[in-house]
Amino acid sequence: MTTGTRDKKSKRIGEVRCQNCFVRFYPPQGAEQASCPECGWEWYISWSGKLAKIRKPVWESWERHLAEDKKETEE
């Protein structure tokens, strides 16, 4: 038996897609929160077995980002 087809299938296990910049990344297995390596936004992750899914944004993180943006535009 070859493992070729199995590898293809298991590639996406644990993978999520950032809802801010749409980059795919792998949160640490079982992590409740993960931040996107591309844009840095943090997300709550829900797990069903080994499948990861983005649940909702971590609002404190969003507020921090927004506050930083605001500061820059105000000056």
Show the tokens assigned to 22.
């749409």
| Contact code string over 2-21 relative to Zn ion, x by CB under 5 A | ----------------x-xx
List CB contacts of 14: < 8 A, sequence separation 6 or more.
Answer: 26, 27, 29, 50, 51, 52
Say whether residue 38 binds Zn ion (CB under 5 A). yes
Phi, psi of 56 (to 5 degrees): -160, 160
Min separation Cβ 25 and Zn ion, Å: 8
| DSSP code at position 6 | H
- Tell me which stretch binds Zn ion (CB under 5 A): 8-16, 26-34, 36-44, 45-53: 36-44
Q: Binding residues for Zn ion, per CB under 5 A?
A: 18, 20-21, 23, 36, 38-39
